[in-house]
Structure 1
Amino acid sequence: MATIKDVARKAEVSTATVSAVINDSAYVSPELRARVLAAVRDLNYAPSLAARNLKRGRSQLIALVVADLANPFFSRVVWAAEAAVAAWGYSLLIFNSDEKPEVERRILARVRTLSCDGVILVPVGDSTEHLQNDPDGKPIPTVLFGRTVADDRSDTVTIDNISAGRQATEYLLDLGHTRLGTITGPLHVTTGRGRLDGMLAAMRSRGLTLESRYIRSGEFREDAAYSVARSLLEQPERPTALYVASGLMALGVMRAVADLGLRCPGDISIASTDTIPGIGGLRPRLTRTEHPLVDMTNEAVRLLVDQIRRGGPAERRNVVFQPSLVVGDSCAPVAAQSAPSPSSSGPGQ
């Protein structure tokens, strides 16, 4: 395999001149440049990308740490991020914290040893202090995606979670529903807390309260949502409508509805937040508030590359995207629904 010294010898120039031509880092006369490029072609010389990046002090690697790779929502984030970082000339390393703070800490320690140029992180804990500096004590360029933490100094790209919960709830209230239930995400993360806060705010604005017996945590997981939805819907006086805080949990809720012999929206109306691949094929079509996910991902990568080039953010930037309401067929006016009763609660009783 040819080396830079072989190219220099064949072109009859110094290795510094070869490096200047390959990296376009200094002026080289057209004659010398042509000789170097001819030698590169003749010798089929391929410069070491790792060596070039080491010299520049960069790895050209961006780490993406998602909260749950089994969740199709985060699979879409990975898909969008791969295209976005490639457009900036970077490669993507993907890690999965599985919604576990201790796993997140191990991943971020690994990210530091790999000398990644920056990190896009979906945080699962309540602090990211363990991420702030690389082994040399320099701040690691970081963008938090989708969620925030109270003590963090990183740029953030989020959705207005309060608006997402409020919009979905207001739609149900406009249909006449007053006895609402909800399947929340984990309330220690801002997505779970914010969407519940939006629901509560919408109900307060109508003089209503959300009864604690109608609140369940589905942990942003399909099976957990299925289990808690069954327990919620098997109550003698079940809610007439549910707000489900994620698309993946909505799949579990819809399974529970079917297994209990209930009809959506004939017996129970359902609205959710976010979308996942295949959810458009559900029948009835789900009413939901959606993220502009590709735009969010592109913005996160743009902010991170800006940090990398600056050597860190000039000041903390928090970009908040607005969700949009997509009306499907999963909600009906309360007057059109069957009256809840123990006998209509299906085989689970």
Structure 2
Amino acid sequence: MANIKEVAARAGVSTTTVSHVINETRFVAEETRERVFAAMRDLNYAPSLVARSLKVKETHSIGMLVTTSSNPFFAEVVRGVERYCFEQGYNLMLGNTEGEAQTALSYLKMMLRKRVDGLLIMCSEGQQEVFNQLDWLGTLPVVVMDWGLDSDRVDLIADNSHLGGYLATRHLIDLGHREIGCIMGPEGRAPSTQRLAGFRQAMAEAALPVRPEWLQGGEFDCASGFAAMTRLLAMPTRPSALFIFNDMMAMGAISAAHQAGLRVPEDISLIGYDNVELAQYLSPPLTTINQPKEALGRLAVTRLLARIHGEQIANRLITQEPDLVIRQSCRRY
């Protein structure tokens, strides 16, 4: 394999000049740069990323902590992150925490040892121990995605879940539904709290009562959606429509309704949240609130790279606005 001395000799320059071209640490005339790049191509020379990182204090790698990439929502965000990292010449080091704080901390320590240039975090509030360690990171840029960590140390990209909850409920009301319930996410989690607030606002504006027994808790997974729907169907009276706080729980709810002999939307209308790719292939296709997941990933990387490159950005909060995707799981009442 060729080395930097052979590249310098072929290009007719010093090894110092080759180093400056590779690391972009000093101005080099365009003609000289082209000779160096041509020599690198001719000799099939690939500069060592490790050696380069020691000189310019960058590894061209980004760490990402995510609750779990098996959930379609997280998987689609990660896909957006991976694509844009690749386009920008960065490696992505991914750690699936599975909701475990100690796992998250272990990944965080490993990423710091690997000297990542920046960190993306997409974990639940239940992993607060991770964020108690942010002082470790010094000046390392951090972008948090999809939940409301209140810190001036990080950039935050958040979904406007209050608006999303309002849009979902307003759609059901506009279809003529008056008896509306919810399958919610974990109590105390920011997305759950905000989506419920949006639901309550829409119901209050329409002067409709909110029945506490029709507000069933879930865990943002299929199993809890199935269980919550089973509880609702066992009640003496049930709502004509449900706002379900994510598409995974909506999938479980549709299965429970089917097993109970009910048809969606003929017997009960359902609207989800997230617009994961699978939602359009359910039977019936799921009406849902869209979060632009690949765009979220791209936006997070763009902001992180801006911080890595030292750009001065005053606003640390970016809010993404959701929108309604109408399919076939809701009917006019």
Task: Provide the TM-score with structure 1 as the length reference.
Answer: 0.85
1:280-295 equivalences under 5 Å are 280-295=280-295
CA distance in 2, matches of 1:42, 1:286: 55
Cα deviation 1:237-292 (Å, max 9, x = unaligned):
12221110111111111111101111111211111111112221222222211112
Find the residue that maps to 1:310 and give its secondary structure: coil
Paired residue type of 1:188: G
1:318 to 2:317 alignment: yes
Find the residue that maps to 2:261 and give its secondary structure: coil
1:16 deviation in Å? 1.5
Find the residue that maps to 1:133 and give its secondary structure: helix
Equivalent position of 2:183 in the other structure? 183
Contact 2:265 2:331 in 1 (8 A): yes
Find the residue that maps to 1:163 and give its secondary structure: helix
1:1-349 equivalences under 5 Å are 1-8=1-8, 14-27=14-27, 40=40, 43-125=43-125, 127=128, 128-134=131-137, 138-151=138-151, 153-310=153-310, 314-334=313-333
Change over 3 Å in CA distance of 1:37–1:206 after alignment to 2: closer
Cα deviation 1:130-176 (Å, max 9, x = unaligned):
13433xxx222111111122346311112210011111111112233
Identity, in percent, stands at 34
Between structure 1 and structure 2, the one with the greater Rg is: 1
CA distance in 1, matches of 2:228, 2:178: 21
Which moves more between the two structures, 263-272 or 150-159? 150-159
Equivalent position of 1:344 in the other structure? none
Which moves more between the two structures, 183-192 or 39-48? 39-48
Paired residue type of 2:206: R
Contact 1:123 1:148 in 2 (8 A): no
Change over 3 Å in CA distance of 1:6–1:175 after alignment to 2: closer
Change over 3 Å in CA distance of 1:216–1:38 after alignment to 2: closer
Which residues of structure 1 form unaligned runs of 5+? 335-349
Change over 3 Å in CA distance of 1:104–1:194 after alignment to 2: farther
Which residues of structure 2 form unaligned runs of 5+? none
Change over 3 Å in CA distance of 1:239–1:152 after alignment to 2: farther
Change over 3 Å in CA distance of 1:9–1:216 after alignment to 2: same
Contact 1:154 1:316 in 2 (8 A): no
Change over 3 Å in CA distance of 1:273–1:48 after alignment to 2: same
Contact 1:200 1:209 in 2 (8 A): no
Contact 2:177 2:240 in 1 (8 A): yes
1:59 deviation in Å? 1.1
Paired residue type of 2:320: F
1:331 deviation in Å? 1.6
Paired residue type of 1:321: Q
CA distance in 1, matches of 2:37, 2:177: 73
Paired residue type of 1:331: C
Paired residue type of 1:231: R
Contact 2:17 2:28 in 1 (8 A): yes
Cα deviation 1:285-319 (Å, max 9, x = unaligned):
222111122322222111111111117x6434211
Find the residue that maps to 1:278 and give its secondary structure: helix
Change over 3 Å in CA distance of 1:256–1:23 after alignment to 2: same
Change over 3 Å in CA distance of 1:230–1:152 after alignment to 2: farther
1:9 deviation in Å? 6.0
Change over 3 Å in CA distance of 1:316–1:189 after alignment to 2: farther
1:125 deviation in Å? 2.2
Cα deviation 1:210-252 (Å, max 9, x = unaligned):
2222122221111121122111222121222111011111111
Find the residue that maps to 1:204 and give its secondary structure: helix
The CA RMSD measured in Å over matched residues stands at 2.5
1:123 deviation in Å? 2.8
Paired residue type of 1:228: A
Which moves more between the two structures, 89-98 or 104-113? 104-113
CA distance in 2, matches of 1:32, 1:157: 42
Find the residue that maps to 1:156 and give its secondary structure: strand
Paired residue type of 1:133: W
